[in-house]
Amino acid sequence: MSDEKTTHFGYKQVPVEEKADRVREVFDSVASRYDIMNDLMSLGIHRLWKRQTVELAGVRRGHRVLDLAAGTGDLSERFAGIVGADGEVVVTDINAAMLRRGRERLADAGVAGNIHFAQVDAEALPFPTNRFDCISIGFGLRNVTHKQNALEEMFRVLRPGGRALVLEFSHPESFAIRKAYDLYSFSVLPALGRLVAGDADSYRYLAESIRMHPSQETLRSMMEQAGFERCEFFNLTGGIVAIHRGYKL
């Protein structure tokens, strides 16, 4: 466990015990407009990123899947359709407003029977060891206070032979993409947030939190430290987003 007294919240340093509450306030603020903002921010490309994540997961009928930081349930919906009635998808988020929005969205989509909901902290998962065939966390790891703890918990509840997928904003590969991405992130995103969600600060935090997230190579090393093997990452859209995959062998 970390003994640090402060951690980053975007570019700010805050007491460790305050970060979860600050992140919760961000998502409480944006929950009702979360889906439309995702489409606007990414020009719809986030759907392709999530589809690629599900393809890399290798989930089959009858599997048990844990979707951490599930938000409004985009990944969960796809997994539920694959695992079928014999399988199970556990939809989780630390934020009650986001989990409620996800439950409503999945109910509207007709997803039922093989899906369950739980408000959980990724750093302290309330599930038995060796429980799940696959674990995903999409655009959530960067918000976790102690990322290494979350990765270790993911490894613990994954069954031998299972795999974990981390879909997250990352570090663009080229200088030109980085410069354009910085301009977009710190100018366009807060303006969109103000116009659509009535909240520029939350989307400024989004841009800052992405910059503070570990690089692709660093995150791969962190997964290996947590116990995962055959760890690899796949850069999407020039490295703006990366999918990391690791196995419990």
Please report, for the chain, the start and end positions of each structural domain, with discontinuous segments joined by +.
42-170+216-247
Query: What does the pLDDT profile of the chain (249 residues) look like in tens digits?
Result: 445 789 999 999 999 999 989 998 989 888 888 889 899 999 999 999 999 999 999 999 999 999 999 999 999 999 999 999 999 999 999 999 999 999 999 999 999 999 999 999 999 999 999 999 999 999 999 999 999 999 999 999 999 999 999 999 999 999 999 999 999 999 999 999 999 888 899 899 999 999 999 999 999 999 999 999 999 999 999 999 999 999 999
Rounded-to-integer distance, Cα 111 and Cα 247, Å:
28
Range 42-170+216-247: architecture per CATH: 3-Layer(aba) Sandwich (3.40)
Report the distance separating Cα 120 and Cα 248, nearest Å.
22
Report d(CA 50, CA 210) in Å as an integer.
18
Distances, alpha carbon 172 to alpha carbons 4, 142, 169, in Å = 29, 16, 9
Please tell me the pTM assigned to this model: 0.93
